[in-house]
Chains A and B, each alone.
Chain A
Amino acid sequence: AQSVSQHNHHVILSEAASLELGCNYSYGGTVNLFWYVQYPGQHLQLLLKYFSGDPLVKGIKGFEAEFIKSKFSFNLRKPSVQWSDTAEYFCAVRGTYKYIFGTGTRLKVLA
């Protein structure tokens, strides 16, 4: 079955700390992977995506993610978080005519 798991449900960091959010997927076909961010009260916005090629992908707002095929992982990273990064983060894999989301990680950044 297709699934995505995010290990960290709640993360609290101070500004300037480094961030890594875990994501593991289970999918048998060609993998298209995404990270979305949802700021409080807003819709989902794409942070970055991986389809093929360089497994280290860079996205908006200084975020990056690394696709490790052997580990079925697509972890999100940011070297130095800001207060404005406080949001819910979702990892997703493209299935057949649908996107399968992880349960999300709520990140709170303390000023």
Chain B
Amino acid sequence: DTAVSQTPKYLVTQMGNDKSIKCEQNLGHDTMYWYKQDSKKFLKIMFSYNNKELIINETVPNRFSPKSPDKAHLNLHINSLELGDSAVYFCASSQHVAEAFFGQGTRLTVV
């Protein structure tokens, strides 16, 4: 069983479109995250949720809207996609301050 799974793995879309990425964890963790990895491999926190509540929104444009319907899911919706949104997006989860477990990533390409 995959601990943290996200779909889709690849997403190619045109500028201006709206898209969603889904994430689910089966580890029973309380905290979930979205990270963005740019072309230089730099990993930057976007959002963190604890028990379905938004804790961190790290100066992400409001075109990005996370939603956590329950503790096991954290989805990311992106409106009006721009070229600069092209990146790999990783979902992760953790229990308190223990290590984070990462999903396989979603490679988003905006053309």
Interface residues of A (CB under 8 A from B): 32, 34, 36, 38, 42-46, 49, 51, 88, 90, 94, 97-101, 103-104, 106
Cross-interface CB contact of A104 among B31, B42, B45, cutoff 8 Å: B42
**Alpha-carbon distance between A51 and B96 when the two chains are bound, in angstroms:** 12
At the interface, yes or no: B104 with Cβ under 8 Å from chain A?
Answer: yes
Q: A interface, by DSSP: helix, strand, loop or mixed?
A: strand
**Alpha-carbon distance between A34 and B94 when the two chains are bound, in angstroms:** 13
Interface residues of B (CB under 8 A from A): 31, 33, 40-45, 48, 50, 55-56, 58, 90, 92, 94, 97-105
- Known contacts A97-B48, A97-B56: A44-B102 contact under CB 8 Å: yes
Residues of chain B lying within 8 A (CB to CB) of residue A38: 41
